[in-house]
């Protein structure tokens, strides 16, 4: 996919200088570039494809729908990771299945909220972390699509780590997670309002597609051992799953102001 003018970019101005300036890609255009490239490079006819959730994954779903419609791709079935991705895919005519009938996927494509140098991820800012992980762990290849702002030296300070917990005795579970040795120093915040945003935008406790709550763990310093933290949180009774995706990534497609790069 070749870079083009951002979807929200203003019309080019008459002068060359202004025209060049207006060609600088917007963040949406960067997301579109990596979303389209992920499908163009990694999806072939006959595949079972996992469809991620979020503003970047949206463009991968859009591209898959385009290529199915024009006949470039055939015999594709896809598994969505959220209700909103399912609705988008249905609107585009993408044939959908579930893990109940297709437990093995050829490829899954999704965005991330943070990516560290070892390609460990924080995901779940949009609240779909459980379904995302269930689908993406079953894929032969997991392709992560981000703009360069999501790259970090260490997970934690740049984006809170979401933890999906059962509503039953949720305050107890919050305290238990915060007291784990690997979570030392974190501030647990119960997600309120919409489950698809970790910004407090309502008075009611946010509820996921699965009927659970989300606790966002805020860190001031980088997490020292992400895989250890992932294990400790997952082994806590009352926790359903968490947004640390460690050792799962096949490749990261990164859009920057100077073009697209791939890290494996």
Q: Would you please indicate which residues are annotated as catalytic (active-site) residues?
A: 132
Side by side, the strands of the sheet bearing 121-122 are 114-115, 121-122, 244-245
- Sign (positive/negative) of CA torsion 232, 236, 239, 240? positive
DSSP string, 7-71: TTPPPPPSSHHHHHHHTSPPHHHHHHHHHHHHHHHH--TT-EEEE--STTHHHHHHHHHHHHHTT
> Which residue, among 54, 112, 90, has the nearest Cα to 78 in the 3D structure?
90
> Which residue, among 17, 9, 90, has the nearest Cα to 51 in the 3D structure?
90
């Amino acid at each position: 996919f070749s870079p083009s003018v951002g979807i929200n970019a203003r019309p080019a101005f008459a002068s060359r200088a202004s025209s060049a300036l207006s060609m600088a890609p917007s963040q949406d255009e960067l997301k579109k570039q990596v979303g389209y490239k992920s499908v163009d490079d990694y999806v072939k006819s006959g595949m079972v494809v996992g469809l991620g959730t979020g503003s970047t994954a949206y463009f991968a779903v859009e591209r898959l729908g385009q290529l199915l419609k024009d006949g470039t791709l055939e015999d594709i079935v896809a598994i969505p990771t959220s209700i909103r991705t399912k609705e988008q895919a249905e609107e585009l005519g993408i044939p959908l299945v579930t893990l109940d009938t297709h437990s093995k996927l050829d490829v899954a494509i999704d965005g991330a909220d943070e990516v560290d140098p070892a390609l460990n991820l924080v995901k779940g800012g949009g609240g779909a972390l459980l379904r995302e992980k269930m689908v993406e762990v079953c894929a032969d290849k997991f392709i992560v699509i981000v703009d360069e702002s999501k790259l970090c030296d260490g997970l934690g300070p740049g984006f809170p780590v979401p933890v999906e917990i059962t509503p039953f005795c949720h305050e107890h579970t919050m305290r238990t997670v915060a007291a784990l040795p690997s979570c030392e120093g974190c501030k647990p915040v119960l997600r309120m309002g919409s489950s698809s945003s970790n910004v407090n935008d309502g008075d009611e406790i946010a509820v996921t597609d699965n009927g659970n709550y989300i606790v966002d763990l805020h860190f001031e310093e980088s997490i020292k051992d992400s895989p250890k933290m992932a294990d400790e949180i997952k082994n806590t009774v009352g926790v359903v799953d968490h947004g640390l995706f460690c050792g799962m990534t096949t490749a990261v497609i990164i859009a920057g102001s100077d073009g697209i790069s791939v890290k494996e």
